[in-house]
Chain A
């Protein structure tokens, strides 16, 4: 169990912001933090990594204290053994992919982990490539592999896929999930992408104004309360075709496209890229076996 209790005054966009977050995270779970910009999400990750010092509070991981203001304990970032991946891949320009990973090894570490990560992240063919020749998705895979070299207990992801296109984002999500399971990581991710949070997390925390406003399974937080197997999804608007008074709206739900007939009165100023809820009465859908 990871017990987090953090208080810090932050300089928010609208003046000072009092961050006050108490949270228990199961070891081995995948937790997402969702909230508006400037709500304090990244600061939570930075305090967990030891890159920012809370004003008050404690961080305890499996009964080991990382931070306790009262006892003047503040374990250094290196000793916390935390992997951190940001939105903008911070790779060394003068190192090839394999060197980026080898550089992250500590003295006495088994170097076979580098090969293993190159395998998992599909980087074997790119091991001699330099960052300037890599695509955004490839760079982020390297950053992720590098964060895992030291076999961290805790992996912190700060909107790691936000700069990538959807196809690449979906692939990277799969890599992260694979690594999360394989390495038995406890992962905490800041994300704005509800579909991504749905796919990846066990627990979602909504932060507003420095406080936890909601906590629960993603389906309980983003869908309606007590959803009981009804025909309701969240997706992203891909195309809108207007025909007379009707709109034919294509929506990406997970990796499936659906088309929905709507009207302007119904949806208002809908635009491409909007996140939407798609709901139908549970009586309409048809179920057919395609494989049994």
Chain B
């Protein structure tokens, strides 16, 4: 699980859904959730939140060009590769900290990923969870 502390910059709501924009050390994240500022009062500017996403939901790109629909894009360098037969866990060093991604070992080979490769880690907006950071506890808002 990838988890980073940040703060809400902006909330766009329509009906029951909201897209929440979060800043994590200068890195922009967006998350879509089935909640609105009415149902979850923490959904307001400057609220501290954790941005959470599973490593299996992190797409990796190398020398990505053109347009891509994924809204969450983190630049970094491959710091570690843990090879399994089918899957590989790639740890990427980035400005917000380590980002873990689990992709197929076939993909690692096809992309010639090695330690030091420059990559872009990408996560769909609907795969990002938020959890408000309160004084005594955190709750997850899937």
Q: A residues engaging B (CB < 8 A)? A: 224-226, 228-232, 243-246, 261, 263, 265-266, 277, 279-283
Encoded as 1 (CB less than 8 Å from any A CB) or 0, chain B from 1 to 21 comes to 100000000000000100000
Return B89 CB to nearest CB of chain A, in Å: 5
The yes or no answer to B39 lying at the interface (CB within 8 A) is yes
Return B136 CB to nearest CB of chain A, in Å: 12
Known: A245-B84, A261-B56, A263-B1. A228 touches B35 (CB 8 A): yes
Return B16 CB to nearest CB of chain A, in Å: 8
Partner of A245 from B89, B140, B141 at Cβ < 8 Å = B89
A224 touches B56 (CB 8 A): no
Partner of A265 from B1, B32, B141, B142 at Cβ < 8 Å = B1
Encoded as 1 (CB less than 8 Å from any A CB) or 0, chain B from 128 to 142 comes to 110000000001111
A-B complex: 10 closest residue pairs judged by Cβ atoms: A244-B84, A266-B1, A283-B126, A279-B142, A224-B139, A245-B89, A230-B142, A245-B82, A281-B142, A282-B34
Encoded as 1 (CB less than 8 Å from any A CB) or 0, chain B from 23 to 41 comes to 0000000001011000110
Q: Could you tell me which residues of chain B, from 58 to 106, have a CB within 8 Å of some CB in chain A? A: 82, 84-85, 87, 89, 100, 102
Return A157 CB to nearest CB of chain B, in Å: 30
Report the separation of the CA atoms of residues A229 and B34 in the bound assembly, to the nearest whole angstrom: 9
Known: A244-B84, A265-B100. A226 touches B40 (CB 8 A): yes
- Most chain B beta carbons < 10 A, residue from A225, A232, A281: A281
| A243 contact set on B, CB distance < 8 A | 84
B34 touches A230 (CB 8 A): yes
Report the separation of the CA atoms of residues A231 and B129 in the bound assembly, to the nearest whole angstrom: 12
The yes or no answer to B118 lying at the interface (CB within 8 A) is no
| A232 contact set on B, CB distance < 8 A | 140, 142
Q: B residues engaging A (CB < 8 A)? A: 1, 16, 32, 34-35, 39-40, 54-56, 82, 84-85, 87, 89, 100, 102, 126-129, 139-142
Chain A: CB-nearest residue to B129: A281
Report the separation of the CA atoms of residues A68 and B39 in the bound assembly, to the nearest whole angstrom: 43
Partner of B55 from A228, A263, A279, A281 at Cβ < 8 Å = A263
Report the separation of the CA atoms of residues A261 and B128 in the bound assembly, to the nearest whole angstrom: 17
A246 touches B87 (CB 8 A): yes
| A245 contact set on B, CB distance < 8 A | 82, 84, 89, 102
Report the separation of the CA atoms of residues A266 and B56 in the bound assembly, to the nearest whole angstrom: 12
Report the separation of the CA atoms of residues A286 and B102 in the bound assembly, to the nearest whole angstrom: 22
Return A284 CB to nearest CB of chain B, in Å: 8
| B32 contact set on A, CB distance < 8 A | 283
Known: A228-B34, A228-B39, A245-B89. A280 touches B84 (CB 8 A): no
Chain A: CB-nearest residue to B32: A283
| A279 contact set on B, CB distance < 8 A | 129, 140, 142
Return B117 CB to nearest CB of chain A, in Å: 19
- Known contacts A245-B89, A246-B102, A281-B142; 8 further A-B pairs (Cβ under 8 A): A228-B16, A232-B140, A243-B84, A263-B1, A263-B55, A265-B1, A266-B1, A266-B54
Return B95 CB to nearest CB of chain A, in Å: 20
| A229 contact set on B, CB distance < 8 A | 34
Report the separation of the CA atoms of residues A225 and B41 in the bound assembly, to the nearest whole angstrom: 11
Report the separation of the CA atoms of residues A244 and B104 in the bound assembly, to the nearest whole angstrom: 13
Report the separation of the CA atoms of residues A282 and B16 in the bound assembly, to the nearest whole angstrom: 12
| B39 contact set on A, CB distance < 8 A | 226, 228
Chain A: CB-nearest residue to B89: A245
